[in-house]
Amino acid sequence: MTKTQIFPGRYDSLEKISEFIQENTKNAGFDGFTSYTIETAVDEACSNIIEHAYGQENIGDIEISVSINPSNLTIYIKDNGKPFNPKSIPKPNLSSNLYERKGDGLGLYMMRQWMDEVQFEFVDNKNVLKMVKNKGQ
Amino acid sequence: MTKTQIFPGRYDSLEKISEFIQENTKNAGFDGFTSYTIETAVDEACSNIIEHAYGQENIGDIEISVSINPSNLTIYIKDNGKPFNPKSIPKPNLSSNLYERKGDGLGLYMMRQWMDEVQFEFVDNKNVLKMVKNKGQ
Amino acid sequence: MEISINNYKRCDIVKVSGRIDSSTSPQLLTTFNSIMDDGKYKIIFNMSDVSFISSAGLRVLISTQKNCKRYNRGELALCNLPENIKAALDLAGFIPLFRIFDTEVEAVGSF
Amino acid sequence: MEISINNYKRCDIVKVSGRIDSSTSPQLLTTFNSIMDDGKYKIIFNMSDVSFISSAGLRVLISTQKNCKRYNRGELALCNLPENIKAALDLAGFIPLFRIFDTEVEAVGSF
Ligand SMILES: Nc1ncnc2c1ncn2[C@@H]1O[C@H](COP(=O)(O)OP(=O)(O)O)[C@@H](O)[C@H]1O
Ligand SMILES: Nc1ncnc2c1ncn2[C@@H]1O[C@H](COP(=O)(O)OP(=O)(O)O)[C@@H](O)[C@H]1O
């Protein structure tokens, strides 16, 4: 079963996106904490689309499809912004020294840590982000 | 209906005395705060009997009778200690200046403020304290 | 009666559950005295779980307050007063003698 | 998101209820900045009613902590962390960067 919803590329869509994701993680049977990690990954992905792919709010939409499969939950997030190549992005500095520590660069890191698969592609002039969370771990 | 109970003249009887009084104030239909004021008056009276009439713990008993009447609750408290004449007791100092303020002498004052009638007698070699709380005020 | 003590940087919180009467008030006095014996005179008394206080308990509060305030070294503050307990303090004329807070946080935050 | 601020003698408590995401985190930053603009750098952030925090919210925490700690003038301390929020802070490596308390009282009592 796949559900798709399209949201305007604005920060105040994030709350509605979270509600959409929560519905699906609940239906998929994930526990509260696992749902929270998926919600976080999607929020980070969508924030990045608005901030980096579109460069600002109200430039384009974000299309989210969620499939509840027997062994996993698979999420596709599509946008029409500028192509993104994550290979060029360095790992964030996680130093526990406050003065060396930066607050940015955490979004991709959290997505990768909390999802089992995170894959960016540029297809048919769209950025397509696929994220998978396995069930029953 | 009158209920009577006898308690050993010791400070650890005070909790059981309170429970006995609470049962009766509840049956008489008093609200929580009014019950609390009656409980306080009885506690002060019994503490004084142990401290002042008997002079110490484990000298004699305290007999308490409670009557639930149509218009009031009447409590009799009897002891075999030394006769007490409350006339000689001055009113407490209720100064709001901390350094003039004393902490003692509050017991009789609280009994008189919170009960409608407080009367000490010495009858048949016993101190008999009668306290009345009117209903429906 | 049960007594707990929590130490913070600038004050201690004493919390009692149960009755403070002639039987139990000596224990409360001992508790306050032991804190003051450690040189700590900023004390908060959380009364939320006090079910009853007699004049014997009130005497402990006043003597502790005098002791704490001596030489301007501190203060006994009260917090979380149940209605009945507040009425007893009021009857005894104690309300002007203590700072009284709704919550522990406000009390701690005032020191 | 709703924000409340309570001022105490030695610190301020900021409490948020709701989501801290890219949409709402600027409001939180403004709140922290306005407290610091008043010359107050001892801030407690009560997170009990925070339902969600994204990296945008985490960025606000780190920049506020740096600002508070500058010249040794203060600190941002956290309290009442829900489990999910604590897991996010942990993933981001934030646990060593903040003093974290179970209750507001302990947090206020530490200043
Ligand atoms: N969807 C995207 N489109 C374009 N660039 C992106 C996208 N997502 C992330 N980036 C780039 O990767 C960097 C790291 O992203 P991220 O880890 O989310 O942290 P932050 O957004 O805080 O910089 C961003 O600064 C940006 O340069
Ligand atoms: N039952 C009693 N028998 C003898 N003396 C009493 C009795 N009750 C009270 N008193 C005397 O009256 C004084 C005032 O009593 P009270 O108001 O209860 O305050 P306190 O007991 O704190 O002194 C007592 O100090 C005591 O001298």
**Sequence-ordered list of residues with C-beta below 8 angstroms from that of D101, at least 6 positions apart, any chain:** D44, D77, D78, D79, D80, D107, D110
Spatial CB neighbours of D18, under 8 Å, sequence gap ≥ 6: D1, D2, D24, D49, D50, D51
Q: If you average pLDDT over every residue of chain B, what do you get?
A: 96
Q: Please give the distance, rounded to the nearest whole angstrom, from the Cα atom of residue A16 to the centre of ligand 1.
A: 22
Residues with Cβ < 8 Å from B17, sequence gap 6 or more?
B7, B42, B43, B46, B62, B64
Ligand 2 atom with minimal separation from the B127 CA: 1
CA distance C92 to chain D (A): 30
Protein residue with least CA distance to atom 8, ligand 2:
B48
Looking at residue A88, its pLDDT comes to: 87
Q: Is chain B in touch with chain D: ≥3 Cβ pairs within 8 A?
A: no
Which pair of tokens denotes residue D93? 């490596």
Using the predicted structure, report yes or no on whether residue B125 has a pLDDT greater than 70. Answer: yes
pLDDT interval class at B136 (50, 70, 90) = confident
Residue B137's pLDDT is 60
Q: What is the pLDDT of residue D77?
A: 98
- Report whether pLDDT(B123) > 70: yes
| pLDDT tops 70 at residue B74 | yes
Whole-number Å distance between alpha carbons of A77 and A49: 9
Q: Quote the tokens at residue A92.
A: 């964030």
Distance (Å, whole) CA C51 – CA A123: 71
CA of D49 to the centre of ligand 1 (A): 28
CA distance to partner chain C, nearest, from residue D4 (Å): 15
Number of neighbouring beta carbons within 10 Å of residue C86: 15
Do the Cβ atoms of A99 and D66 come within 8 Å?
Answer: yes
Global pTM reads: 0.88
pLDDT tens digit at each of 137 positions of chain A = 899 999 999 999 999 999 999 999 999 999 999 999 999 999 999 999 999 999 999 999 999 999 999 999 999 999 999 999 998 899 998 988 999 999 899 999 999 999 999 999 999 999 999 999 999 86
Q: Is D14 on the interface with C (CB under 8 A)?
A: no
CB D78 within 8 A of CB D98: yes
Confidence class for position D99, pLDDT limits 50, 70, 90: very high
Cβ <8 Å between C19 and B106: no
**CA A24, A26, A29 angle in degrees (round to 5)?**
110
Position B51 scores a pLDDT of 97
Cα–ligand 1 centroid distance for D70 (angstroms): 28
- Taking a C-beta distance cutoff of 8 angstroms, is the pair A46, A62 a contact? yes
d(CA D40, CA D36): 5
3-state helix, strand and coil shares in percent for chain A, rounded to the nearest 5: 35, 30, 35
ipTM: 0.85
Question: What whole-number percentage of chain D has pLDDT above 70?
Answer: 100
Contact indicator for B25, B35 with CB cutoff of 8 Å:
yes
Domains, in order of start, for chain D: 2-109 (3.30.750.24)
**Is B53 close to ligand 2, i.e. is its CB under 6 Å away?**
yes
Q: What is the least distance, in Å, from the CA of B122 to any CA of chain C?
A: 25
C-alpha C81 chain-centroid distance: 10
Chain D residues with CB under 8 Å of A114 CB are: 91
| pLDDT tens per residue across span B22-55 | 999 999 999 999 999 999 999 999 999 999 999 9
pLDDT digits (tens, 9 = 90+) for D12-61: 999 999 999 999 999 999 999 999 999 999 999 999 999 999 999 999 99
Numbered residues of chain B with Cβ closer than 8 Å to any chain C Cβ:
11-12, 14-15, 18, 32-33, 36-37, 39-40, 43-44, 47, 50-51, 94-96, 98-99, 101-104, 106-107, 109-110, 113-114
d(CA A37, CA C37): 52
Closest by CA position to B135, among listed B116, B119, B118, B120:
B116
- Could you say which residues of chain C have pLDDT below 50? none
Name the DSSP class of C92: T
Domains of chain B, each with CATH number or no CATH = 2-134 (3.30.565.10)
